[in-house]
Amino acid sequence: MNATAHPVSKLPDVGTTIFTVMSALAAEHKALNLSQGFPDFDGPDALLESVNAHMRNGSNQYPPMAGVATLRQAIATKVADLYGLDCDSETEITVTAGATEALFCAIAAVVHAGDEVIVLDPAYDSYDPVIRLQGAVPVHVPLTAPTYGIDWARIEAAISPRTRLLILNSPHNPTGMVMNESDIQALQALCRKYDLYLIGDEVYEHMVFDQAKHLSLCAYEELYARSFVISSFGKTYHVTGWKVGYCVAPPSLTTEFRRVHQYVTFTVNTPVQLGIADFLQQQPEHHRQLPAFYQAKRDLFCQLLAGSRFAIAPSQGTYFQLLGYADITSEVDSALATRWTREHGIASIPISVFYKNAADCEHRALRFCFAKDDATLRQAAEILCRL
Ligand code: PMP
Ligand code: GLN
């Protein structure tokens, strides 16, 4: 037999992502798709026009490896404005092909073979495989259901001499949990005791509700000194398909980050970077209005479901809402998400897939994306209220 035809897989247990699986199932059954996280409305007109104009005006060749200078400067202005971080766009900001690429580069930059990396379950699905691709070991620590608070004592108990990195995601996908001041204090205490790098996966930074504030790792000097802070314009501007994100990190970490980035994608498409730079400079109120915009959607969705049999704790952040279904059925979440897509025409995401051991997922809940037009949310709620 030809050995090259059957490679020894580096990720033998990895299948197709749940997002691809559920969106395909939704399309097959013409179901309302509240599974994969993307808006069913478009990005702002001025942004689309600006990208178009740059493309028409011939800005179609390679931009600088780290990203277009005007975009990096606009990002620096934004993080100074929101989080009080005074950073140098030349040495601390890199534009990436979505947050996904930034996560890969940050992990690959600092994690060596044999290192351990702590991730909190339910964990966004890209972390674990990327850690393993470095020959490193993901150490999974569960959040505490059903509120999904961070158990800092459990994190500390999981730290070993090999622990190199802790990945934090706030606002948290899929639970909507948002880190608070006491989490930050616990994290600061931990970082004084142990020499860890941090990744702040902050792609939902502008979706935090009920007057709470997003507490970015950028905002705390001693945390930022060891952090890669990652965000995504796909979420902020309703253009998930554009795949443009960025990483803010101190110069020494950015140097290592770019050593990887330049050989993963080298750079990110020019007209979109230029268009986002214009839009950030001209309409900074867009991201300031985003929490209210998404809170109204969350509130509408939850109100519409008030008479349903679901258990609902309104999401603190992100554009996802967990709905507890224990009063409706005892089925496991992945089978249920599939069945409801087929039989009732509504697609969602099971949360057990974000655990290393699905059995650790005690909360019977499905994740629904409310980044949808109000009409879509009404249609979805009508179906869900019948279940
Ligand atoms: N991290 C989290 C927590 C996410 O939910 C997502 C995407 N949806 C990403 C990273 C990846 O973002 P992007 O689409 O910009 O690659
Ligand atoms: N992050 C999005 C979600 O959680 C999907 C991203 C993807 O499809 N890879 O639904």
Give the pLDDT confidence of 97-138 residue by residue, as tens digits: 999 999 999 999 999 999 999 999 999 999 999 999 999 999
Residue with CA closest to ligand 2 atom 4: 37
CA dist 190 and 301 (Å) reads: 38
Count CB atoms within 10 A of the CB of residue 25: 17
* Vertex 80 angle, CA 172 and 184, to 5°: 40
Measured in angstroms, how far is the CA atom of residue 37 from the centroid of ligand 2?
5
Residue partners of 104: CB distance under 8 A and separation at least 6: 126, 130, 260, 264
Question: What confidence category does residue 6 fall into, taking pLDDT thresholds of 50, 70 and 90?
Answer: confident
Measured in angstroms, how far is the CA atom of residue 321 from the centroid of ligand 2?
14
Model's pTM, two decimal places? 0.97
Domain assignments of the chain as residue spans, ordered by start = 18-43+286-385, 45-285
Q: Given this model, what pLDDT does residue 3 score?
A: 67
- Helices then strands, counting H and E runs in the chain, come out as 15, 12
Q: Relative to the CA of 245, which ligand 1 atom is closest?
A: 15
Count CB atoms within 10 A of the CB of residue 372: 23
Would strands 163-169 and 116-121 be described as parallel, antiparallel, or unpaired?
parallel
Residue partners of 278: CB distance under 8 A and separation at least 6: 47, 50
Name the closest ligand to CA 20: 2
The answer to whether residue 205 scores a pLDDT higher than 60 is yes
CA dist 248 and 306 (Å) reads: 41
CA dist 218 and 225 (Å) reads: 9
Name the closest ligand to CA 23: 2
Mean of all residue pLDDT scores within the chain:
97
Would strands 163-169 and 197-201 be described as parallel, antiparallel, or unpaired?
parallel
Measured in angstroms, how far is the CA atom of residue 36 from the centroid of ligand 1?
11
Report whether 262 contacts 66 (CB < 8 A): no
Residue with CA closest to ligand 1 atom 15: 98
Pocket of ligand 2 (CB under 6 A): 17, 19, 36-37, 173
CA dist 111 and 68 (Å) reads: 28
Q: Give the rounded percent of residues in the chain with a pLDDT score beyond 70.
A: 99
Q: Which two tokens stand for residue 264?
A: 């993963």
Pocket of ligand 1 (CB under 6 A): 37, 98-100, 124, 169, 173, 201, 203, 232, 234, 240, 243, 245
The answer to whether residue 350 scores a pLDDT higher than 90 is yes
- Per CATH, the number for 18-43+286-385 is 3.90.1150.10
Q: Relative to the CA of 318, which ligand 1 atom is closest?
A: 5
Architecture per CATH, 45-285: 3-Layer(aba) Sandwich (3.40)
CA dist 31 and 342 (Å) reads: 8
What pLDDT digit, counting tens, does each position of 73-91 carry? Answer: 999 999 999 999 999 999 9
Question: What confidence category does residue 359 fall into, taking pLDDT thresholds of 50, 70 and 90?
Answer: confident
Report whether 72 contacts 66 (CB < 8 A): yes
Residue with CA closest to ligand 1 atom 8: 37
Question: What confidence category does residue 149 fall into, taking pLDDT thresholds of 50, 70 and 90?
Answer: very high
Count CB atoms within 10 A of the CB of residue 266: 12
Question: What confidence category does residue 1 fall into, taking pLDDT thresholds of 50, 70 and 90?
Answer: low
Question: What confidence category does residue 62 fall into, taking pLDDT thresholds of 50, 70 and 90?
Answer: very high
What pLDDT digit, counting tens, does each position of 236-278 carry? Answer: 999 999 999 999 999 999 999 999 999 999 999 999 999 999 9
Q: Relative to the CA of 37, which ligand 2 atom is closest?
A: 10
Q: What would you report as the CA-atom Rg of the chain, rounded to the nearest whole angstrom?
A: 21
